[in-house]
Structures are given as C-alpha cells and as structure tokens.
Amino acid sequence: MFFAIPMVGVLGKRFPVQILEAVLLSLLLFKMWPKATHFHIHGKVLSLTLFYLGAVKFISESFLGTHQGGYFLSGFISFLGIFIYYQITRRSIRYDLILAYLFLASLLTSKLKWKMILETLNKNWYNLRVSWSWKLKAASKFLRRARVKPTPRDI
C-alpha cells in the first residue's frame, strides 16, 4: 500500500486508519458547522451528524486489519440518524424512496434530464472557477500590501 507505515508490535506495514478517519471527520465538521450555526429544526443537525458519523465509521472500518463488529455499531448509528431525521422532519421515507427510484429511472432514460444536469454542472463549474480566481487575486493583493516577498533574496 502507498500510505502504509510500519507499526510497533505489528508485522509488516499497516494502513493509518486514524488519519483517514480524522480527515473524514474534519470534512464532516466543515459540512455540519454552517448548518449548526444557522436556523434549523431542533434535532436535524443531530440526526444528520449521526448519519454521517455512521457512514464515516463504516468506511474506515473496512480498512482495519481486525474486524471486531464495528460495522454493526456504525450501521446502528446511521439507522438512528435516519430514524431521528424522519421523525423530526415528518417526512415519509416511502415517498422519498419512490422519488429516488423515479429520478434514477428518468436519469437512465431521459435525454432532457441529462441535458439539464450537464447544463447545471457547467454553470456551477464556471461559478466555482470564478470564485477561486477572485480569492487568489484577493490573496495576492493582501500579500502585496503586507509586503510579503514570494522568495527571499538570500538563499
């Protein structure tokens, strides 16, 4: 494995699952923080966090060398998150599954749906590219005003 590192007390190299789990949990925090700080239905942030936490644990469990039943815990946490979400929002899981099935069926058969998706992706990609270019220009302007040199003179 590319990322495998030698571990004390273990023969051979082992994949650093803790690093992967920490990165995924950090991404989860960045995704959930704006939802937690803005208006939301009570319990919605908890349910989504439980669902995503269970998904992260399920993914990271597959990289462990010894399986000790972590799949059951992560599955239970995800199921609990889904259950709380549908109880809080009063949505129907049956209706959502039917809509997901109809969306996938139309995605496979409809050319108009594909055209709409590609146009949306094209528009979002352009907006993302423009946003990053403005951020880079603002950063270079800030560094120039702060008199930060890109390379030192005495190397």
Task: Report the candidate in 150, 38, 54, 45 with the shortest Cα–Cα distance to residue 89.
Answer: 45
- Closest of 81, 75, 25, 72 to residue 50, by C-alpha: 81
Instruction: Judge whether residue 9 has pLDDT over 70.
Output: no
H/E element, 6: strand 5-6
Position 87 scores a pLDDT of: 92
Residue 101: its pLDDT value, please?
94
pLDDT of residue 136 exceeding 70, the answer is yes
Higher pLDDT, 115 or 70: 115
Which tokens go with 97?
A: 């599954």
Helix (H) or strand (E) holding 14: strand 13-14
CA distance 83 to 76: 10
The distance between the two most distant Cα atoms of the chain, rounded to a whole number of Å, is 68
**How do residues 22-73 score in pLDDT, each as one tens digit?**
888 999 998 888 888 888 788 888 999 999 999 998 888 887 766 677 888 8
Of 9, 18, 32, nearest to 61 by C-alpha is 18
pLDDT in the model for residue 53: 92
User: Residue 11: what pLDDT?
Assistant: 63
**pTM exceeds 0.75:** no
Q: 153 pLDDT band (50/70/90 cuts)?
A: low
pLDDT at 7: 66
- Determine how many CB atoms are found less than 10 A away from the CB of residue 57: 19
Lookup result for tokens 């120039």: 144
For 12-24, the pLDDT digits (tens) are 677 777 888 888 8
Residue with tokens 């469990």: 61
